[in-house]
């Protein structure tokens, strides 16, 4: 048996499967820093194998029925419960045209077997730089709903992710949902560069909203730096429309302005090149829409 050796085994812990958010909060209060909350477990189990995390209590949220829903918010918008998996999000009719950027991002995460377990909220809470859904959620102005001893609060995704593996969440708080505001005329596209189902080396989420003659654009880059970041210069380049000319210009601006990092996966120079290419691909698909 392989029990005991790192990389292939997990540290010792006690497993809990609460049925309600209150029950989960109670467990968190009891065990504090010793506990970790688990969604699909994809990231957490991997971290635990490498002993980057060794919680002595694991709180599995898969049994919390109230977090398993995707619901329409009255007045427009979508509320995605913390236990909703990525494959559930991709089911027919769950993410309509106005959420296209998220649908595209989620459909390209890892592979179908991983997507059957992974949750959107787990993706966010993991906060590793090369995850695909955060740039899409930031482009959609999404926010995170967290519940703790002090009550409920809402945090924009852009500030929820403070840094790599660093999120704005107290040890006694649980993320219960992601909320995305609705917008009728909203369109979007997501592109990434990756080798097979490996981590992304660069990704871009583009959202545009048509309001009469004005077009508001949001362009967010992921996997190129320690946290996803907007590039307002690229947004500026396409504000008068997405045409062959503005796409070319936006790609060059992206190459110039998007800050890229060097790491073991790719050099900053290579990432800058990828940024140019994926900007062209994403905007190219949105041209003439």
Q: Please, are residues 244 and 250 in contact by the beta-carbon 8 Å criterion?
A: no
Long-range contacts of 42-50 (CB under 8 A, 24+ apart): 42/110, 42/114, 42/117, 42/118, 42/122, 43/122, 43/123, 43/126, 43/128, 44/122, 44/126, 45/10, 48/10, 48/11, 49/6, 49/7, 49/8, 49/9, 49/10, 50/6, 50/7
Task: Identify the helix (H) or strand (E) that includes residue 81.
Answer: strand 78-81
Tell me how far apart the terminal alpha carbons of the chain are, to the nearest angstrom.
58
The reply on whether position 111 binds other proteins by CB under 8 A is yes
CB closer to other proteins out of 41 and 234: 41
Asked if 19 is part of the footprint of other proteins (rule: CB under 8 A), the reply reads: no
Can you say how many angstroms the Cα of residue 216 is from the centroid of all Cα atoms in its chain?
22
Q: Which is nearer to other proteins, 197 or 243 (CB)?
A: 197
According to the binding rule CB under 8 A, does residue 1 interact with other proteins? yes
When asked if residue 165 is in the footprint of other proteins (CB under 8 A), the reply is: no
Q: Determine, following the binding rule CB under 8 A, whether residue 112 of this chain makes contact with other proteins.
A: yes
Taking alpha carbons only, the member of 39, 38, 49 closest to residue 10 is: 49
Instruction: Name every residue whose Cβ is closer than 8 Å to that of residue 96 and which is 6 or more positions away in sequence.
Output: none
How many residues touch other proteins (CB under 8 A)? 30
**Which residues, 6+ apart, have CB-to-CB distance to 151 below 8 Å?**
none
Query: Closer CB to other proteins, residue 198 or residue 262?
Result: 198
* Strand pairing class (202-211; 214-222): antiparallel
User: Which C-beta is closer to other proteins: that of 118 or that of 253?
Assistant: 118
Q: x/- binding map, residues 50-69, to other proteins, per CB under 8 A?
A: --------x-x-x-------
- Of 152-160, 190-198, 246-254, 256-264, which part binds other proteins (CB under 8 A)? 190-198
Q: What are phi and psi of 158, to 5 degrees?
A: -60, -30
Residue (of 9, 35, 266, 280) closest to 129 by Cα position: 266
Binding mask 196-235 for other proteins (x = CB under 8 A): xxx-------------------------------------
Binding residue for other proteins, selected from 19, 29, 116, 184, defined by CB under 8 A: 116
Minimum CB separation from other proteins for residue 17, in Å? 8
- Interface with other proteins (CB under 8 A), residue from 79, 117, 153, 249: 117
CB nearer to other proteins: give 105 or 242: 105
Closer residue to other proteins (CB): 200 or 208: 200
Q: Least Å distance between CB 112 and other proteins? A: 6
Which of 21, 53, 90, 114 lies at the binding interface for other proteins (CB under 8 A)?
Answer: 114
> Which sign, positive or negative, has the C-alpha torsion 85, 124, 181, 109?
negative
Minimum distance of other proteins from residue 265's CB (angstroms): 14
Q: How far apart are CA 287 and CA 281, in angstroms?
A: 10
Would you tell me which residues interact with other proteins (CB under 8 A)? 1-3, 7-15, 41-42, 45-46, 49, 58, 60, 62, 110-114, 116-117, 196-198
């Amino acid at each position: 048996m392989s029990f005991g050796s790192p990389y292939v085994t997990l540290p010792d812990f006690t497993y809990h499967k609460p049925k309600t958010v209150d029950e989960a909060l109670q467990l968190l209060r009891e065990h504090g820093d010793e506990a970790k909350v688990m969604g699909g477990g994809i990231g957490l189990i991997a971290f635990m194998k490498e002993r980057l995390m060794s919680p002595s209590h694991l709180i599995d949220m898969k049994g919390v029925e109230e977090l398993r829903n995707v619901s329409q918010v009255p007045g427009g918008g979508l509320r995605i419960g913390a236990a909703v998996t990525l494959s559930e999000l991709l089911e027919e009719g769950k993410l309509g045209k106005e959420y296209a950027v998220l649908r595209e991002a989620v459909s390209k995460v890892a592979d179908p077997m991983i997507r059957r377990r992974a949750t959107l909220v787990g993706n966010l809470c993991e906060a590793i730089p090369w995850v695909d859904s955060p740039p899409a959620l930031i482009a959609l102005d999404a926010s995170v709903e967290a519940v703790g001893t002090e009550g409920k609060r809402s945090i924009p995704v852009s500030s929820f992710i403070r840094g790599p593996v660093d999120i704005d969440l107290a040890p006694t708080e649980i993320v219960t949902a992601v909320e995305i505001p609705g917008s009728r005329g909203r369109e979007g596209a997501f592109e990434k560069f990756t080798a097979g189902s490996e981590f992304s080396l660069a990704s871009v989420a583009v959202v545009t909203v048509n309001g009469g003659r004005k077009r508001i654009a949001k362009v967010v880059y992921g996997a190129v730096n320690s946290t996803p970041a907007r590039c307002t210069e690229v947004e500026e380049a396409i504000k008068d429309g997405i045409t062959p000319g503005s796409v070319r210009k936006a790609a060059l601006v992206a190459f110039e302005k998007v800050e890229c990092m060097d790491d073991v996966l790719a050099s900053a120079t290579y990432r800058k090149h990828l940024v140019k290419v994926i900007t062209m691909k994403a905007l190219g698909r949105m041209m003439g829409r």
